[in-house]
Amino acid sequence: AIARSLPALAVHLDPLGWLPLRREIVRYLVARGIECQPSDIAVVNGAQQAVDATAHALIDPGDTVVMEQPGYFGAALAFTACQSNLVGVGVDEQGLKTAELARVLQARRVKLVYTTPAAQCPTGAVMGDARRRELLALADEYQVPIFEDDYDSELRFNGAPIPALKRLDHSGQVIHAGTFSKVLFPTLRVGFVVAARPLLEKMVLARVSADFATGAVPQAALAALLRSGVLARHVRRMRRLYAERQRAMLDALARHMPAGARWSAPPGGHMLWIRLPAVDPDRVFYDAAAEGIAYTRGEVFHFDGRGTDCLALSFANLTPPRIADGVALVAAVVRRQVAPGRRRSRSARGPGSEQRRTRRAPGDGGTVDAVGTRG
Ligand SMILES: Cc1ncc(COP(=O)(O)O)c(C=O)c1O
């Protein structure tokens, strides 16, 4: 199929993306409740380029952009590169705190709100229905566009993927971005963005200026994978696989982490957000690296230097036994750092016994709620 498409693709690349691929993406989006046509979509080099093109199209130096804290570092990078004034809004187990957002919107003019409603990055929290309605009402009231980064919605372990915020958007304020990075692989560099026409045109101009268009071969390959149903089957398999891997990580955390550690247990995704008890985060990071364990440090997900007591542990490409071993190693490093009085007793409750409990971590300004805790 790819070879058949290439003669046409080799001579002309539409900056909006190859039409057969956009048609497949429309089919997928309509199934998710987003009414759109191929002309409403631009294929981009991953969700990151959608964020970047949006920032270029909308943001002038000094403009205020609101994003979740903790939040996706790639978005913070794109908004910072456009010299925006970044303002953080906290998240809890329902995602972005709309009451806090309302206060920011009352106080100043905001050019854009960036959010990850289906799977808050990095906590994995799913934005509830009431919050979604509040967010859209605020977007209407203050005429502020919302960037919906839908990067991880397909990796939900049970039931249908979380409906898109865009589905409820009747005034065209939501810019919806998706990606094939999580369901296939991140080096593929193909994503898409749906936005109202004048804005989409500006975004496409920004991306043309950056790199003209997304490569022909990945576009043709993706169109074939979508059309044939292979991708849908693959995603179903990934959901089962990732559910097993998340289970292995949750069990290992419950078994090995010392008192005071807390972690998220989201209904999908590829990583967990972990809050450590009082430890030296540099020593934990370098000691873990010496044991061969890499993770993303919590401050990477904050643009204001907070988050040093947190980390994001990915289970995406590890088997359950390797996950169990890796978590045991990290936990041993953390335990070595914890003040003796705070070590947990070995007779602590069994694995997973606290998964349903929701607690706010102390002293974090209410930014993150974690379910699953030791201590
Ligand atoms: C929340 C979030 N959005 C966007 C991206 C970037 O995705 P892409 O590879 O499609 O550019 C990532 C990548 O990790 C992410 O975590």
Distance 71 CA to ligand 1 centre (A): 11
Local structure of residue 89 (DSSP, 8 states)? E
Average pLDDT, the chain: 90
Percent of the chain with pLDDT over 70: 90
Distance 48 CA to ligand 1 centre (A): 6
| pLDDT of 345 above 50 | no
Considering only CA atoms, which of 239, 231, 307 is closest in space to residue 276? Answer: 307
Ligand 1 within 6 A of CB of 186: yes
Task: Give 158: exposed, middle or buried? Use CB within 10 Å, 0-12, 13-18, 19+.
Answer: exposed
Q: What is the pLDDT of residue 97?
A: 98
Average pLDDT of the residues in 179-193: 95
Q: Please tell me the distance from the alpha carbon of residue 249 to that of residue 373, in angstroms, as a whole number.
A: 13
| pLDDT of 244 above 60 | yes
User: pLDDT by residue (tens digit) across 280-294?
Assistant: 999 999 999 999 999
Average pLDDT of the residues in 318-345: 85
Ligand 1 within 6 A of CB of 47: yes
Q: Quick one: tokens of 367?
A: 């930014």
Helix 197-211 vs helix 46-58: crossing angle, to nearest 10 = 110
User: pLDDT by residue (tens digit) across 2-51?
Assistant: 778 778 777 788 999 999 999 999 999 998 889 999 999 999 999 999 99
Ligand 1 within 6 A of CB of 147: no
Distance 237 CA to ligand 1 centre (A): 21
Choose one of 175, 176, 181, 270 to mutate for the ligand 1 pocket test, by most ligand atoms within 8 angstroms of C-beta. Answer: 181
Ligand 1 within 6 A of CB of 121: yes
Ligand 1 within 6 A of CB of 153: no
Residue ID of nearest Cα to ligand 1 atom 10: 46
State the closest ligand 1 atom to the C-alpha of 180, by its place in the atom list counted from 1: 10
Residue ID of nearest Cα to ligand 1 atom 3: 151
Do the Cβ atoms of 78 and 110 come closer than 8 Å?
no
| pLDDT of 174 above 50 | yes
Q: How confident is the model at residue 180 (pLDDT cuts 50, 70, 90)?
A: very high
User: pLDDT by residue (tens digit) across 210-221?
Assistant: 999 999 999 999
Ligand 1 within 6 A of CB of 5: no
| β-pairing verdict for 85-92 and 64-69 | parallel
User: Tokens 């993770």 sit at which residue?
Assistant: 295
User: pLDDT by residue (tens digit) across 140-157?
Assistant: 999 999 999 999 999 999
Distance 238 CA to ligand 1 centre (A): 18
| pLDDT of 354 above 80 | no
Ligand 1 within 6 A of CB of 185: no
Do the Cβ atoms of 146 and 174 come closer than 8 Å?
yes
Tell me the domains of the chain and their CATH numbers: 2-228 (3.40.640.10), 241-371 (3.90.1150.10)
Q: Please tell me the distance from the alpha carbon of residue 276 to that of residue 311, in angstroms, as a whole number.
A: 8
